[in-house]
Amino acid sequence: MDCRLFWKYVLILITFVLLLFPGCGNSNEKAAAELAPDSSEVIKMPEPRYSSEVSLEMSLLNRRSVRSYSDEPVTLQEVSQLLWAAQGITDTAGHRTAPSAVALYPLSLYIVVGNVPEIVDGAYIYQPEDHTIKRIIDGDIRNELATAAMGQASVRQGAVSFVVTVDYGIVMSRFGDKGERFGTLEAGHAAQNLCLQATALDLGLVTAGSINDNEVAGVLDLPDNLTPLYVIPVGRKID
């Protein structure tokens, strides 16, 4: 067989296999593809800042759980900063702000927006690779999310809630049963980053782990491979 013809057939076969089996990818890419197959709105987030007048030590000192918020909105820039703090890319190799066992990054981060003027109300998935959010659900669903979070009023009041989810399959395929521990620990790393960044921005938040996993998954129409671990409402503190 002619060599060029042989490689042509090989390329056709590879293309066919890739179409049938899209590949593992990271959990964020899979979730975005499954949840938003249409041309839903993609928003490029503003560039996060990398320094401020608030020291890490002051953020640690002042971090507190805040469960009640004012009606004042949160800004697009602040949402961008919080997303980056939780799961943003920090170098050209694709490493993120939160540590991950052998850089598997099994977390997917969602936001439920209800009081951010520059962002249409709805649910979005964060795409760290290009620092964008992609809308997957239209409309203000904070009430539904609050109900799924055991009726916590903070989720209903927050201008935006961050939902941290994990794909345990990614880490368990590498580490076996111990992978579940690694995935859960990673969610804690991301949540603490959120806490410290919110404190530096003088925003209030609380890390709500008391949630009904299945109900939260239903509200966000999560793919089966993702387990929600945290619902973290954020809002302006009441003076």
The three-state secondary structure class of 167 is coil
Q: What is the mean pLDDT of residues 26-55?
A: 73
* Residue range 92-138, pLDDT digits in tens: 999 999 999 999 999 999 999 999 999 999 999 999 999 999 999 99
pLDDT at 114 (0 to 100): 98
Average pLDDT value over all residues in the chain = 89
Domain count of the chain? Answer: 1
Strand arrangement of the beta sheet that strand 122-127 belongs to: 42-44, 132-138, 122-127, 107-113, 160-166, 227-236, 203-205
Q: What angle do CA 112, 118, 123 make, to 5 degrees?
A: 20
Tokens 């919080």, residue? Answer: 82
Q: What is the mean pLDDT of residues 48-76?
A: 97
CA–chain centroid gap for 221, Å, is 14
Specify burial of residue 209 (Cβ count, 10 A radius: 0-12, 13-18, 19+).
middle
* Residue 119: DSSP 8-state: S
**Model confidence band, residue 22 (pLDDT cutoffs 50, 70, 90):** very low
Output b/e per residue, 106-121; b: 16+ Cβ within 10 A.
bbbbbbbbbbbeebeb
Q: What is the CATH number of the domain that holds 132?
A: 3.40.109.10
* Residue range 138-154, pLDDT digits in tens: 999 999 999 999 999 99
Residue 10 lies in a domain: no
Q: How far apart are CA 197 and CA 210, in angstroms?
A: 22
Asked if the model's pLDDT at residue 30 lies above 60, the reply is no
Q: What is the mean pLDDT of residues 11-38?
A: 46
Asked if the model's pLDDT at residue 10 lies above 60, the reply is no
Q: What is the mean pLDDT of residues 198-204?
A: 98
Asked if the model's pLDDT at residue 9 lies above 70, the reply is no
Residue 17 lies in a domain: no
Based on DSSP, count helices (H) and strands (E) in the chain, helices before strands.
9, 7
User: Do 27 and 167 meet the contact criterion of CB atoms below 8 Å apart?
Assistant: yes
Q: What is the mean pLDDT of residues 167-172?
A: 97
Residue 15 lies in a domain: no
* SS3 letters across 47-93: CCCCCCCCCHHHHHHHCCCCCCECCCCCCHHHHHHHHHHHHCECCCC
Q: What is the mean pLDDT of residues 36-54?
A: 83
Q: What is the mean pLDDT of residues 176-193?
A: 97
pLDDT at 2 (0 to 100): 52
Q: What is the pTM of this model?
A: 0.84
Residue 1 lies in a domain: no
pLDDT at 28 (0 to 100): 54
- In sequence order, the 6+-apart residues with CB closer than 8 A to the CB of 24 are 30, 170
Beta strands in 79-209 (DSSP E): 107-113, 122-127, 132-138, 160-166, 203-205
Tokens 């919110």, residue? Answer: 198
Residue 7 lies in a domain: no
Residue 5 lies in a domain: no
pLDDT at 239 (0 to 100): 84
Question: Residue 129's domain spans which residues?
Answer: 24-236
Q: What is the mean pLDDT of residues 164-184?
A: 97
pLDDT > 90: percent of the chain: 83
